[in-house]
Amino acid sequence: MELLHQLRQLQLIRPLDLQFARFILSEELRDQAERQLQSQTDDGELLALLAALVSWQLGRGEVCLSLAGVAALLDSWPTTLRERAERLLRAMSESRVLSYAVISDGCCETPLVCSNGRLYLYRYWYYETEVANIILTLTAPVDTDRAAIRAGLKRLFNAPDPGETDWQQVAVAVALSRRFSVISGGPGTGKTTTVARLLSLYAEQFSVRMQRAPVIRLAAPTGKAAARLSESLQSAQQALNASDAVRAMLPDQAVTLHRLLGPRPDSKNFRHNRNNPLHLDLLVVDEASMIDLPMIYRLLDALPAHAQLVMIGDRDQLASVEAGSVLGDICAWQQQEVTGELCYSQEQLNYLQNVCDLQDPPSAPGSNPVADALALLRKSYRFDQHSGIGQLARAVNCGDGEQAARLLSENLGDIGFVPLSESGYQQMVTEVANGYATYLQLMHNGGEPKQLLLAFNQLQLLAVVRQGVYGVEGLNLAIEAQLQRQKLITVTGAWYSGRPVMITRNDYQLGLYNGDIGIAAPDDRGKLRVWFELSDGEIKGFLPGRLPEHETVYAMTVHKSQGSEFDQVVMILPAEDSALLTRELIYTGITRAKTRFVLHATTHALIKGSQRRTERASGLSWRLWQSAGTCQG
């Protein structure tokens, strides 16, 4: 354990990682003692090292530890420690690892599992294999009434231009053909419009087939995302070419995934599971990029045997904060978009050509069943070809940081760039404070809480890190001080009128969820309350002392901004290069903006960050795409 204690002192592993390694080593030595075997020093050190590394990986959002890539993880270690670890790892082979009592290939329940060259905690190996098996089962084709689908699509959608494919129609057709499907698309590609028409056509056909109305549920990972989904779908449904009877069957409120599954107090488990499945026929989940591996497992585990699940999201956004990159792994096939080819099977191509006039099918169809369950929306209706935000997002998404930098220098109307400097920093703080003046002046003039929340959401400052002058904590203090200087707020303690806060821990009893934003303002009797818009649209005020964990939110991290949109976004990148600065993070920050985006950064950080992709160790993509349709431990 000497090596691991040194790593802990250097903060290269966490206390949890060290304790897990100690537990694994003690279990192995106890087993060997019972069998009267003698442990070799190198074997013991190797076992402890691997246990600490797989635990450390999980803390970084990685599902597993790739045994072939372990050496790359040691680059930041001091030379003497790295050389010592590498000597241990060079002596390792998978068969040797499996000789330990605490590691198996999944055939029995051991703390660690070695599978396909990857080392897992047993629970995460189980989640991954179960998710892959369930998805592969659900992507089998279902019986469809092609004539009814074609007629419904023609009624709900305008005819596409000659020679063009309407990818929204393709997405609806794909979702109706499988019990599991994913619709991926960037901002403004019409995901909500597509879902509204999908629900209408599904309800219409289900009621005819089953002689009853379907039970349709809507969900999202966070309260804010659920509220946005509810609001946007209610608006989209008003424009549907559907009968009143069909409209009456459509849902109008979304809930969080936690509320849908039914949390149990003081437990990570939920009321709904395979033994007590959800009561629904169709489940639509928005912002799927935010869903981690344990959550998608619990969702699939609770899905009724007959039900359909449609996941909506942007494959290019940041992965979940917790372990896994589920949407990215499921959508691995869509990287073929670069070549312009489709990977649908011949059977699925025939179906799509029959119901929605798919143009220019590929000469070499694919054969993976998961591909037949995926659809990509490709046309942006929000950002045209001249939009600075749209062009900037595409450049970053393609890894072309130099093109992104050129776009920011061209003075396009909806994007701006301010080089990182002391004067530029103060300019940013002042401009953001001026932007927030709108909701504060409204509050001073007696504005209603709903008006305050709407006004606050017109602008948001995003940061990459939490600590430091360029982090969320430093920015919140700087903006608060600037607002005081402008006499827009009066800070006399932790709570004051106008303070915006974000909830950081779910409270199911209060109906407040991680990511919800509220504003402190007096009620009719002058008593300070914090006002939130709940998932059902109600505006409710809470006494500050009743709130669950929360933080001031003049600035928030890009991760926390997922599921939200703002009229204007100001984003600041750290001065020093950081592994957190990735293509997906910059893209996510840019695409939170609807009308204007301003970046405060160095050109080097923009270029370097655009080139760095988020890569998380996971075997889910392999199980879905490279395992020839099988999923073995």
pLDDT class of 95 with cuts at 50, 70, 90: low
Dist. CA 87–CA 353, nearest whole Å: 58
DSSP string of 617-629? --SHHIIIIISTT
Name the helix (H) or strand (E) containing 401: helix 401-408
Query: Which of 30-34, 313-317, 376-380 has the lowest average pLDDT?
Result: 30-34
Dist. CA 343–CA 368, nearest whole Å: 8
Contact 298, 271 (CB under 8 A): no
pLDDT (tens digit, 9 = 90+) per residue, 564-611? 788 899 999 988 777 788 888 888 899 888 889 999 988 888 888 888
Contact 150, 176 (CB under 8 A): no
SS3 90: helix
Dist. CA 609–CA 402, nearest whole Å: 11
Q: Which of 443, 473, 452 shows the shortest CA–CA distance to 461?
A: 473
Task: Specify the pLDDT at position 289.
Answer: 86
Dist. CA 243–CA 248, nearest whole Å: 9
Contact 70, 89 (CB under 8 A): yes
pLDDT (tens digit, 9 = 90+) per residue, 278-291? 999 999 999 888 88
Task: Specify the pLDDT at position 578.
Answer: 76
SS3 447: coil
- The count of C-alpha atoms lying within 13 angstroms of the C-alpha of 557, restricted to the half-sphere facing its C-beta, is 17
Contact 220, 226 (CB under 8 A): yes
How many CB atoms within 10 Å of residue 339?
A: 8
- Structure tokens that stand for 278 in this block: 């959800």
154 vs 511, more confident: 154
Task: Specify the pLDDT at position 216.
Answer: 92
Dist. CA 125–CA 474, nearest whole Å: 39
pLDDT > 90? residue 162: no
Task: Kindly give, in sequence order, each residue whose CB lies less than 8 Å from that of residue 367, ignoring residues fewer than 6 positions away.
Answer: 345
DSSP string of 556-622? EEHHHHTT--EEEEEEE--SS--TT--HHHHHHHHTTEEEEEEEEE-HHHHHHHHHPPP----SHHI
Contact 398, 590 (CB under 8 A): no
Q: Look up residue 371 and give its DSSP letter.
A: G
- Structure tokens that stand for 65 in this block: 């530890």
How many CB atoms within 10 Å of residue 531?
A: 19
Dist. CA 403–CA 396, nearest whole Å: 8
Tell me the pairing of strands 555-557 and 459-463. Answer: parallel
Q: Look up residue 147 and give its amino acid.
A: A
pLDDT class of 39 with cuts at 50, 70, 90: very low
- Structure tokens that stand for 349 in this block: 């191509």
How many CB atoms within 10 Å of residue 240?
A: 18
Task: Specify the pLDDT at position 343.
Answer: 76
How many CB atoms within 10 Å of residue 515?
A: 27
Dist. CA 171–CA 254, nearest whole Å: 21
Query: Which of 9-23, 145-159, 175-189, 243-257 has the lowest average pLDDT?
Result: 9-23
Task: Specify the pLDDT at position 629.
Answer: 41
Q: Which of 33-37, 359-363, 539-543 has the highest mean pLDDT?
A: 539-543
Length of the chain: 633
Contact 470, 580 (CB under 8 A): no
- pTM, two decimals, is 0.84
Name the one residue in this structure whose structure tokens are 């070419």. 241
Contact 515, 223 (CB under 8 A): yes
Query: Which of 294-298, 328-332, 517-521 has the lowest average pLDDT?
Result: 328-332
pLDDT (mean) for 128-135: 92
pLDDT > 60? residue 330: yes
* Region for residue 520 given its phi and psi (left: phi exceeds 0; alpha: psi -120 to 50; beta: otherwise): beta
pLDDT (tens digit, 9 = 90+) per residue, 51-92? 888 888 888 888 888 877 777 777 767 777 777 677 666 655
Q: What is the mean pLDDT of the chain?
A: 83
pLDDT (mean) for 151-166: 82
Query: Which of 145-149, 356-360, 526-530 has the lowest average pLDDT?
Result: 356-360
Task: Specify the pLDDT at position 227.
Answer: 78
SS3 551: strand
Name the β-bridge partners of 601: 419
Cβ-count burial of 356 within 10 angstroms (0-12 exposed, 13-18 middle, 19+ buried)?
buried
Helix then strand count (H, E) for the chain reads 25, 20
Contact 66, 60 (CB under 8 A): no
pLDDT (tens digit, 9 = 90+) per residue, 252-277? 888 888 889 988 877 778 899 999 99
Dist. CA 53–CA 365, nearest whole Å: 41
pLDDT > 90? residue 46: no
